[in-house]
Amino acid sequence: MHTVVRRHFTRSWGRCESRIRMPESLARLVLAGALAMGLGACDSSDGSTSDQVAEGKQTFRYETFGDETKWTDVLRLHEAISTVDPATALSVGLKVDSEALPPAVVTGIQNGSISLTDPATTLALLKLDAVVGVKGTVTVVNGKDTLTRVGITCALCHSTVDDSFAPGVGKRLDGYPNRDLDVGTIVALSPALDDATRAVFKSWGKGRYDPRFNLDGQNGPQVIPPAYGLQDVHSVTATGDGTEVQYWNRYVAVTQMGGHGSFSEPRTGVSVTNGSDDLVSSKLPGLQAYQLSIPAPAPPAGSFDAAAATRGKQVFDATCATCHSGPQFTDANTRLHPVSDSMGEPEASGVPSYASRSATKMYRTAPLKGVWQHPPYFHNGSAATLEDVVSTYNDRRSLGLTSDQRTDLVEYLKSL
């Protein structure tokens, strides 16, 4: 990474109810259904109240922590988004919440009277809070509707949809990592970045993000992790830097999203303060409560061979359960592991060790509940499938598993 790229990006990264005039027919449709939108509360199993969980759900889905300062004032992404139509947005992994769409809008999209190649439709979707993880403010400027501010929320990376309406459009699935999302390509649209920095972002690819690049200037993107199944797991990140979700939520909200507040970590020398106010701290308890309330998803019916999975459990218990132990299939609450234990190391040629950039310099054992849902695997996505995971362990640990045993073990992992 060239020094000039690091300096430019670090400067840009760290400095960090609308009305829409749209085609009349579309405006009527949006107005007709806008008041019908609402959010439900959910319960938590960690002792949090349902009100706190509901508050956290709102935060997870819609709170920017004031990060418009970064995405609008510094990176000027609102300028690029103003020209993007929904079809293009879907192609880079942005998702649309179908439950936020009034019935008339749904009908209009289905019959083609509402265009998915018109940027005006993007503005309408932002008005409805239907673009998962993106918040936009549209005002009339010189007689023309203009996207004047844009920010992001936790849901951008850690939610997807079930595609029940169309690819990329459906009901929200909070906590699911959006492995379709090309964060780097989206950020690279910023007119405030130089070509070298854009090239770094574009190198990441879908479902990958480097949450330390803006701080250490090293380029080593990681797969976007799940935000479900975290109840009773203390080390919630690949390197186990913090002992609860609030630690990483603060890190991301301040140092990555650009939210107003502070984060300090003496072990890595990171100390970031954005703004003169704190819009993060008061939201962290509820946000954590909501995330801990999200269970890992059960495997779809018919997605694995039950008989093979039963045999595979015996293989798992004999070869994997020492580290992937307990009800969450991880020993992360009692220990972290040296880099030599990681199947994701060494990294690809030219990529720095991710652990070496962390506070612990070590890795946790990944929980396995819902592992069927989020390929690719290992912290850097170096294993494309569960078959690749099992083969890697078999080869590097000299497990001596037969082909049938490897197949059975994969079916068991699919069942978790």
> Is 21's pLDDT higher than 80?
no
* Structure confidence at residue 47 (pLDDT): 63
* Residue-level pLDDT at 242: 93
Mean pLDDT of 18-23: 38
Residues 145-157 have pLDDT tens digits of: 789 999 999 999 9
Q: Packing angle between helix 119-127 and helix 24-34, nearest 10 degrees?
A: 20
**Using CA atoms, how far apart are residues 206 and 220, in angstroms rounded to an integer?**
14
Assigned token pair, 20: 């829409």
SS3 127: helix
26-60: buried (b, 16+ CB within 10 Å) or exposed (e) per residue?
A: beebbeebeeeeeeebeebeeebeeebbbbbbbbb
Q: How confident is the model at residue 140 (pLDDT cuts 50, 70, 90)?
A: confident
Q: Which amino acid is at 292?
A: L
- Count the neighbouring beta carbons within 10 Å of the beta carbon of residue 183: 24
Q: Say how far apart CA 173 and CA 190 lie, in whole Å.
A: 28
Q: What is the mean pLDDT of residues 204-212?
A: 98
CATH no., domain 306-414: 1.10.760.10
Residue from 284, 299, 318, 305 nearest 370 by CA: 299
Q: What is the CA angle 6-7-13, rounded to 5?
A: 85
Closest C-alpha among 324, 300, 298 to residue 229: 298
Beta bridge partners of 144: 141
CA-closest candidate to residue 293, choices 43, 82, 64: 43
User: Which residues, 6 or more positions from 240, have their beta carbon under 8 angstroms from its beta carbon?
Assistant: 234, 332, 336, 360, 362, 363, 364
Within its chain, how far is the Cα of 266 from the centroid? 26
Q: Which of 19, 2, 18 is nearest to 10 (CA)?
A: 2
- Output the pTM of the full model: 0.88
Convert the pLDDT of each residue in 42-92 to its tens digit: 444 556 789 999 999 999 999 999 999 999 999 999 999 999 999 999 999
Mean pLDDT score across all residues of the chain: 90
Which whole-number Å values give the CA distances from 368 to 81, 324, 331, 371, in the listed order? Answer: 37, 8, 11, 5
Quote the CA–CA distance of 238 and 325 in Å, as a whole number: 16
Query: Could you tell me the end-to-end alpha-carbon distance of the chain, in angstroms, rounded to an integer?
Result: 40
Kindly state the percentage of the chain with pLDDT values over 70.
Answer: 89
Distance between CA atoms of 147 and 81, rounded to whole angstroms?
A: 8
User: Mean pLDDT across the stretch 289-293?
Assistant: 97
Handedness of CA 6, 8, 9, 10 (dihedral sign): positive
Amino acid at 248: W
Q: Under the phi-then-psi rule, with left for phi > 0, alpha for psi from -120 to 50, and beta for the rest, what region is 234?
A: alpha
327-379 pLDDT tens trace: 999 999 999 999 999 999 999 999 999 999 999 999 999 999 999 999 999 99
**Residue range 94-102: mean pLDDT, rounded:** 97
Q: Is the pLDDT of residue 39 over 50?
A: no
pLDDT confidence of residue 6: 41
* SS3 at position 23: coil
Residue 12's pLDDT is 45
Q: What are the domain boundaries of the chain? A: 3-41+59-229, 306-414
Q: What is the DSSP string of 260-283?
A: SEEEEETTTTEEEEESSS-SSGGG
310 pLDDT more than 80: yes
